[in-house]
Structure 1
């Protein structure tokens, strides 16, 4: 699945140019879209995208600015992550957007990983648009991990109080790896060794004239054996950004 970044640019421009009413409410609306199901054991892959220094962002006095940044960040990342028949869960946890996919084959791992390149390039676009509108740029980490994990729906059947629980490495490791991107290491994308091992040969095949292994780096600062970080992007979109994002 591709990402219509020109439509995305218009949506973000509309958000940043518009007015947002900050409603004071003592009670948040509930989400009743959870279901209860049996347990499964399967290959799953998770992507977590986390805003850096979100505590300082959320504490800013200009709450309209904060609302615009958070909405711009979440709306287009969700657009990139959604609409895939491998998707099993997609949501927001605080300042983090995440998605979980079923990935039984290497080809699935490769296609899902490409979403991180779209997100990485989108964040370049978002920062360019933030500068255009007189706002500060943001930093974010993108964590991605793969695991052969157990998945259950936990809660109390019939009460409406239940949620998916992902037991294993994929979700927990992706969440942790996202905290290293654009902070402990200079690149946004941090991927587990299992993801790297499942995508590197396909990358070499698709880019035979490039030193693909040189795109991925290791760091002793990441306490997961074999984890890598990189700055892969979608070049057509990034070139369009560099050209000033013409309509």
Structure 2
């Protein structure tokens, strides 16, 4: 009998479908990957990027639903100060044999944009008789790389050592805006999740949520520039409308 009652309850809510939109900020960072780490892919800190998209939510019961999203997500990272850059092959005759990196003081920002498609298992609880509802969700995502740039700004002497003691070039403009999409894998997979509060009124709801995502795969195709994983924290506002109930 309890099984029959639970099944009937599931069927009663199975027609509830919400559609909506969400938007906010992404706070991404690049994490250096283990044995493939080198001076080029280390030391990145968080940058700000956009996070927005649309979603559809299918309710199986008052407690459980599945939510599919399509999001534009800004990813990447930034670093500033004395840091490594690939040794210029044109300077090979002026450098000690085997020199892979030179060093300079500049700003570097990796700007990646992904189309991310998460499928989330969502659990929600009404807070008593109030219109507020608390929820948590988590699940896998597939990310498709849309664009990737490395933006460098600054003018600095170039040094042979990471301490900036041995100068090999005088102050040199280092500004560059390089498309590096062909150096990165076009697809990534990972996990994402959120905790949020929704305010329900009629067939509508507004919500605020905080969460994050992490990609399991290294983003670089090769290992010359090391290996990094993408990941980001997110803060998002959104609106949902129940089209069937």
TM interval, short-chain normalised: under 0.3
Higher-Rg structure is 2
Per the normalisation by structure 1, the TM-score is 0.23
More strand by share: 2
More helix by share: 1
